[in-house]
Amino acid sequence: MSKKQLRPVEAPFVALGPSGVAIRTRLKDLTSSDEKVLRLAGEHLGRLASRDLAVRCAQGHDHNTESWAVRKQGLTAESSSRWAGAITKASHDQWALSRRCQLAHIQGLEAGVRTLMHRLSQPLGEKGTKRAPGGYRSKHEWFVKSRRLAVLEHRLDVARAEREAGVVHVIRGGRRLLNTRHNLDAAQLTEQQWRERWETERWFLQADGECGKRYGNETIRVTPDGEVSIKLPASLAHLANAPRGRYVLASKVTFAHGGAERADRIEGNHAVAYRIHYDVGRGRWYLTASWHKPVVKTVPLATARTAGMVGVDTNADHFAAYQLDRHGNPVGDPHRFFYDLTGSANHRDAQVRHAITQLLHWAKRCGVTAIGLEDLDFTAEKTREKHGRKKRFRQLISGIPTGKLKARLVSMAAEQDLSIVAVDPAHTSMWGDQHWRKPLTSPRRKMSRHDAAGIAIGRRALGHPIRRRTAPPHDDQSDRRGHRTVQASPGTQGREGTRPHAPGPRTRSVPPNAERTRATRTPKTVRDVRSAQEWVQDSLLLTD
């Protein structure tokens, strides 16, 4: 591959640590009165949240401080001042999230339109290159894609007009669950079961924390000994069993993970947000606590490299990891950590967490302080227009957990005092397979393309080129220890690519110029004349 075909490789960097923490525990031993109060409060506040979100979406760009004060004042009369603040903030966050999703949708449509316009402008049967796709195979396909272009252009115009007008489309409870109502048989649900899930997802029982208030939250309060109490809305104040319109649950909670950190925060009256939600499938109530963390300054890149690195290649069904010392040499055998991304969202999340936990524990046993990971983003690579015929490939890259995996890996690695070094993913699989797969393969070690990619990622995270260094020849060779290493200096441009052929002193692996040596090549002995002439003829054929 020539230098003109290589895009610049971005420098590796240490990913920032997590900016927040969320822990969850189960509300056990709830009485029938507790469940009744939670259901009534969730339904009432959910109706208020749905109404406020509709008003916020209708305002669009016309939202200002005065309109927000009017909305909050109207909600306060039916709930409380703090519940009204939590509801309006949730509406603002939902509107902002919808705007970001709308922009991503527009960018995806623009990428599809550009690809279609380019391919439609190419002659039929035109072959594509690595940089740009070619034309379509037949007139029928060209006609179908022209209609597809018209559809995407119409959708793009509508999306741009809605974005300029500040119009967003939001469904409380989720569009997927809403569409499930039309496919109850496929979802194996009855109408009553679906209705219960739909209403539960639209409940609202969450409150943001407040600094300086008792235990960091006045609306949903959790004491150090695990007592949970909530501030009831005005219409449900008659159900209170504690002073000042509060209801204390019979269940006391304990957080198995992160409980000590939460206890330190509530002792100092720092803000802690809580959310109470009901799992219809399991019939259980849960309490989630979350809070912000100051972004800890990451360790310098040089410090992260001191003890070596573990290079990790992310695939659709496993992590391929390889340990490297600080000089970039592979250590030991490759390791693979498998996960299954089929099934429900909870199952996929559990699989990823289990694989990450195994990876982190193995990295700690290796003694490294950092993990090299590709900075993957397949947002622009999932387009149907770019990989239209490659359905399995589109499903493959869509199934690889990229953004969620990176966020979860960073947060879980921080708990193990491990740093994450993000590297440019350019050519790691191709060059790793080219330079490392065959040399490390042995009867006792089976190397895959993904294992070799893990080595390439680790070397790039350590600041070394991916190419494997070879030693110069011995003194008995003809060039007398000439420069025969493929290792380039760190400042050399294109040092990670394939080394181009450069003329120089010949070695035994390169046949000499037969025309120049024909007169002196024939031996003096009659026995070797025939074989020498055949060798010269073969050399002429090779040079021609």
Does residue 318 sit in the same domain as residue 287?
Answer: no
Write down the pLDDT at residue 256. 86
Does residue 217 sit in the same domain as residue 120?
Answer: yes
Does residue 35 sit in the same domain as residue 166?
Answer: yes
* Residue 504 placed within a domain: no
The residues, ordered by sequence, that sit 6+ positions from 341 with a Cβ below 8 Å of its Cβ are 316, 317, 348, 351, 352, 399, 401
Of all helices (H) and strands (E), which one includes residue 14? Answer: strand 13-14
Query: What is the percentage of the chain residues whose pLDDT exceeds 70?
Result: 79
Determine phi and psi for 231, rounding to 5 degrees.
Answer: -85, 115
The residues, ordered by sequence, that sit 6+ positions from 368 with a Cβ below 8 Å of its Cβ are 307, 308, 309, 310, 323, 418
Does residue 260 sit in the same domain as residue 402?
Answer: no
pLDDT digits (tens, 9 = 90+) for 491-525: 555 555 555 555 555 444 444 454 444 444 444 44
Write down the pLDDT at residue 40. 96
pLDDT digits (tens, 9 = 90+) for 399-429: 565 566 777 888 888 888 899 998 988 889 8
The confidence band for 527, taking pLDDT boundaries of 50, 70 and 90, is very low
Write down the pLDDT at residue 510. 45
Q: Can you give the residue range of the structural domain that contains 421? A: 301-462
Does residue 389 sit in the same domain as residue 246?
Answer: no
Contact 13, 201 (CB under 8 A): no
Greater pLDDT, 481 or 101: 101
> 131-145, 191-205, 520-534: which range is least confident on average?
520-534
Does residue 237 sit in the same domain as residue 365?
Answer: no
Q: Pick from 292, 310, 337: which residue ends a domain?
A: 292
Does residue 129 sit in the same domain as residue 232?
Answer: yes
Q: Pick from 432, 462, 492: which residue ends a domain?
A: 462
Q: Look at residue 364 and tell me whether its pLDDT is greater than 60.
A: yes
Kindly report the average pLDDT of the chain as a whole number.
82
Does residue 264 sit in the same domain as residue 376?
Answer: no
Greater pLDDT, 294 or 103: 103
* Residue 478 placed within a domain: no
* Residue 508 placed within a domain: no
Tokens, residue 305: 């490299």
Write down the pLDDT at residue 351. 86
Closest by Cα among 498, 485, 411, 495 to 460 = 495
For position 387, which CATH number holds?
Answer: 3.30.420.140
Please provide the DSSP assignment of 156-198 as one string.
HHHHHHHHHHT-----TT-HHHHHHTT-HHHHT--HHHHHHHH
Q: Pick from 257, 275, 292: which residue ends a domain?
A: 292
Does residue 157 sit in the same domain as residue 266?
Answer: yes
The strand ranges marked E within 280-426 are 284-292, 309-314, 318-324, 330-338, 370-374, 419-423
- Look up residue 287 and give its DSSP letter: E
The strand ranges marked E within 346-497 are 370-374, 419-423
Tell how strand 246-252 and strand 227-231 pair up: antiparallel
Q: Look at residue 343 and tell me whether its pLDDT is greater than 80.
A: no
For residue 341, CA distances in Å to 251, 317, 352, 395, 408 come to 35, 7, 8, 12, 15
pLDDT digits (tens, 9 = 90+) for 272-320: 999 999 999 889 999 999 998 876 667 888 999 999 999 999 887 889 9
What is the C-alpha separation between 535 and 32, in angstroms, rounded? 96
Does residue 134 sit in the same domain as residue 248?
Answer: yes
* Residue 12 placed within a domain: no
* Residue 473 placed within a domain: no
pLDDT digits (tens, 9 = 90+) for 156-174: 999 999 999 999 999 999 9
Contact 220, 274 (CB under 8 A): yes
Write down the pLDDT at residue 542. 42
* Residue 24 placed within a domain: yes
Please provide the DSSP assignment of 83-127 as one string.
HHHHHHHHHHHHHHHHHHHHHHHHHHHHHHHHHHHHHHHSPTTPP
Which residues on neighbouring strands pair with residue 322, listed in sequence order? 311
Half-sphere exposure of 172 (CA within 13 A, CB side): 23
Does residue 285 sit in the same domain as residue 307?
Answer: no
pLDDT digits (tens, 9 = 90+) for 366-403: 999 999 988 865 444 445 555 556 666 555 556 565 56
Q: Look at residue 230 and tell me whether its pLDDT is greater than 70.
A: yes
What is the C-alpha separation between 19 and 439, in angstroms, rounded? 42
Does residue 266 sit in the same domain as residue 317?
Answer: no
* Residue 9 placed within a domain: no
Domain tally for the chain?
3
Greater pLDDT, 185 or 16: 185
Q: Is the pTM of this model over 0.85?
A: no
What is the C-alpha separation between 505 and 487, in angstroms, rounded? 18
* Residue 411 placed within a domain: yes
